[in-house]
Amino acid sequence: MQNDPAQPNPIDEQDKNIEAALAQIKHRIVVFSGKGGVGKTTVAVNLAYSLLKQNNQVGLLDADITGPNVPKMTGAESSPASLGDSNHVLPLIQNGLKIISIAPMLPNDAPLIWRGPLRSNAIRQFLADVLWGELDYLLADLPPGTGDEVLTAAQKMLPQMAIVVTTPQEVSLIDCRRAVNMAKKLNIPNIGVVENMSGLVCPHCSEEIDIFGTGGGEKMAKQMDVHFLGRIPMELSVRQGSDEGKPIVLESTPSKTSEAFKKISENVEKILSE
């Protein structure tokens, strides 16, 4: 059955809305990882707030549809508001950061059992229907791996940068290399690596213990000819803040982690300004 040529094609209309939204967003960044458990969302959340603290307008799209943790880590757990009879939705605003996630729209602890096309469509809707307004940066926190959501984000967001998060250990670097190569195949112009969990900061003496080793991410980035954005240590306060919806970079007490995120955000701004 053919579509009525007199009726607008929903996909075409959605693409037009995405194009209009992206026209107001200066820089677009996707954050993903080759494997889970490397702290990808922690990096996305704190990097977004670090960029915000440098007088930027910033949005964060939680594109990890089946594991949406951005609201929990930011404290933005209320439902987004829709505008009247239109499909448009206002993003949540938490400490100045614009956020959209499917998590507040779901019952507590309810699994989202969707196949790839449905998850990808959710990302397209977030891009088309959310009223982001003018932004300096829009970050998308993608699920781990190299699946449909990464492809959709790359094709629809047209990101200028992909940030791949890894830990220093070789078992993580193996998957990180795959993620970097995927970003290259998707022709994302700037690719950066962040080495997370690079040393545990002792809460008593402040000395660092290399539980997972250190330097693996930087070495891999050089080998693959991509940007190394920086390394982030492990601190107890980061885990506590994530559980309480208080990102470490917003805390008034200085920390090695917040300083690391500041340097990474400065590196991101420098690369994209060039």
Question: Does residue 121 lie in a domain region?
Answer: yes
Question: Does residue 6 lie in a domain region?
Answer: no
Q: Please state the rounded mean pLDDT for residues 156-182.
A: 93
Question: Does residue 176 lie in a domain region?
Answer: yes
Question: Does residue 167 lie in a domain region?
Answer: yes
Which CATH number fits the domain that encloses residue 140?
3.40.50.300
Question: Does residue 4 lie in a domain region?
Answer: no
Domain that holds residue 258: 11-273
Counting the structural domains of the chain, the total is: 1
Neighbours of 91 (CB within 10 A): 21
Question: Does residue 3 lie in a domain region?
Answer: no
Question: Does residue 214 lie in a domain region?
Answer: yes
- Find the range with the poorest average confidence among 5-9, 129-133, 238-242: 5-9
User: Full-prediction pTM beyond 0.85?
Assistant: yes
- Alpha helix ranges (H) inside the chain: 10-22, 40-53, 70-74, 116-129, 148-157, 170-185, 216-223, 236-244, 256-273
∠ Cα 120 187 228 (to 5°)? 100
**pLDDT tens string 50-87:** 999 999 999 999 999 988 999 999 998 887 777 766 67
The residue ranking higher by pLDDT, 35 or 26, is 26
∠ Cα 241 218 70 (to 5°)? 25
Using pLDDT thresholds of 50, 70 and 90, give the confidence band for residue 252: confident
Share of the chain above pLDDT 90, in %: 65
Distance of CA 47 to the CA centre of its chain: 9
Over 90: is that where the pLDDT of 11 sits? no
Q: In angstroms, rounded to a whole number, what is the distance separating the alpha carbons of residues 190 and 43?
A: 18
Question: Does residue 60 lie in a domain region?
Answer: yes
Over 50: is that where the pLDDT of 1 sits? no
How confident is the prediction for the chain on average, in pLDDT? Answer: 90
- Find the range with the poorest average confidence among 75-89, 127-141, 212-226: 75-89
Using pLDDT thresholds of 50, 70 and 90, give the confidence band for residue 126: very high
